Amino acid sequence: LAGKELREDNKDYQQVLLDVRRSLRRFPPGMPDDQREGLQEELIDIILHVLKRNPQLHYYQGYHDIVVTFLLVVGDRLATALVEKLSTHHLRDFMDPTMDNTKHILNYLMPIIDQVNPEVHDFMQSAEVGTIFALSWLITWFGHVLSDFRHVVRLYDFFLACHPLMPIYFAAVIVLYREQEVLDCECDMASVHHLLSQIPQDLPYETLISRAGDLFVQFPPSELAREAAQQQAERTAASTFKDFELASVQQRPDTVLRQRFRERLRGEERTKSILTKPRTNRFVKLAVMGLTVALGAAALAVVKSALEWAPKFELQIFP
């Protein structure tokens, strides 16, 4: 479809337009206005093209932060192909009609922190800060919150080479790196949320990338899935219905409390037995992860240069 027809036919056009107009900081400082405006028009067309070809996908605010990164690195032709493929894989959960799957991914954050530093985990739980501070990190692959484009591209290399949940491991690593700042903070939701939502710009990215890969091997999603699901269940109204029903019948709150206490103890014992299982072949996994990350570091550069010798390269990658 031509650009004009594509825009007229797409229900998301107005929201995309607003988001792209607000994306000035995502372009290199000092870029001429006419060049930036041309790239913004291309950005709109790429987003609408992907949505048109994949009606099962739903636009979300922050999606343009990911698309503009690819546009700036590889140009509009290859960016369109890359983003479309990525949208149906790594970003798929963010593009559902609801945020249920995105919230579920965020639920992995606290279990990862708990495995490494229970003190930080308990402090955050006491403050009731939740995980919403990491939402923009996750759904934009940190593109919206980092000011240095070099750091953004490096993280994209890393995430492209890894499991779709790697961004949440990296988010956990950032929180753990700031351990002392967190523990020195007032233990209330507003203070802790404000601290964590202001991401430092001078992080030791290579060290944190290596640490995130290490944690993924030590505590793979399969080992954390149960705890992540439990966090979600405890937040729903349905999870309290059995207690309500029992209390209504017996009118004995102390009975309910004793039963919940016994169930919690049993749950903690089961969780402890799972988390203390011996882990085998850790060093082999670490070696594989290290190789994967090393290969991913050059991914975008290789793809970009490929256009110079293979005009139809994007069609060969994405059949």
**What does the pLDDT look like over 292-302, one tens digit per residue?**
444 444 444 43
Give the per-residue pLDDT at 234: 56
Cβ neighbors of 240 (< 8 A, separation 6 or more) are none
Give the per-residue pLDDT at 91: 96
Amino acid occupying residue 47: I
Q: Which residue has the higher pLDDT, 252 or 315?
A: 252
Residue 309 exposed, middle or buried by CB count within 10 Å (0-12, 13-18, 19+): exposed
pLDDT grade, residue 160 (50/70/90)?
very high
Amino acid occupying residue 85: K
Averaged pLDDT, 210-235: 84
pLDDT grade, residue 226 (50/70/90)?
confident
Residue from 96, 77, 88 nearest 304 by CA: 77
Other CB atoms within 10 A of residue 280 CB: 8
Provide the mean pLDDT of the chain.
80
Alpha helix positions (H), the chain: 3-9, 13-21, 33-53, 63-87, 100-106, 109-116, 118-127, 135-139, 149-160, 166-177, 179-184, 189-197, 205-218, 221-235, 241-250, 253-275, 282-296, 299-306, 313-317
Q: What are phi and psi for residue 307, nearest 5 degrees?
A: -60, -25
Q: Does the pLDDT of residue 279 top 50, yes or no?
A: no
Q: Which residue has the higher pLDDT, 284 or 61?
A: 61
Q: Can you tell me whether residue 251 is helix, strand or coil?
A: coil
Q: Does the pLDDT of residue 211 top 90, yes or no?
A: yes
Q: Is there a contact between 71 and 51 (Cβ–Cβ < 8 Å)?
A: no
Residue 44 exposed, middle or buried by CB count within 10 Å (0-12, 13-18, 19+): buried
Q: Can you tell me whether residue 132 is helix, strand or coil?
A: helix
Q: What percent of the chain has pLDDT over 70?
A: 71
Averaged pLDDT, 183-191: 96
Crossing angle (nearest 10°) for helices 118-127 and 109-116: 140
Residue from 226, 229, 228, 223 nearest 275 by CA: 223
Sign, CA torsion 134/126/103/228:
positive
Q: Is there a contact between 146 and 136 (Cβ–Cβ < 8 Å)?
A: no
Structural tokens at position 250:
């017996």
Residue from 198, 176, 74, 200 nearest 123 by CA: 176
Q: Does the pLDDT of residue 269 top 80, yes or no?
A: no
Q: Which residue has the higher pLDDT, 268 or 246?
A: 268
Averaged pLDDT, 85-94: 95
Q: Does the pLDDT of residue 137 top 90, yes or no?
A: yes
Cβ neighbors of 270 (< 8 A, separation 6 or more) are none
Give the per-residue pLDDT at 10: 76
Averaged pLDDT, 201-221: 96
Give the per-residue pLDDT at 151: 96
CA distances from 243 to 115, 227, 256, 264 (A): 30, 21, 6, 13
Give the per-residue pLDDT at 3: 61
The residue whose two tokens read 């009606």 is: 55
Structural tokens at position 260:
């919940």
Q: Does the pLDDT of residue 96 top 70, yes or no?
A: yes
- Structural domains in the chain, CATH included, are 3-94 (1.10.8.1310), 99-219 (1.10.472.80)
Give the per-residue pLDDT at 295: 46
Least confident of 41-45, 114-118, 257-261, 283-287: 283-287
Give the per-residue pLDDT at 64: 96
Averaged pLDDT, 265-291: 50
Structural tokens at position 193:
């949320």
Other CB atoms within 10 A of residue 221 CB: 18
pLDDT grade, residue 6 (50/70/90)?
confident
Give the per-residue pLDDT at 43: 96
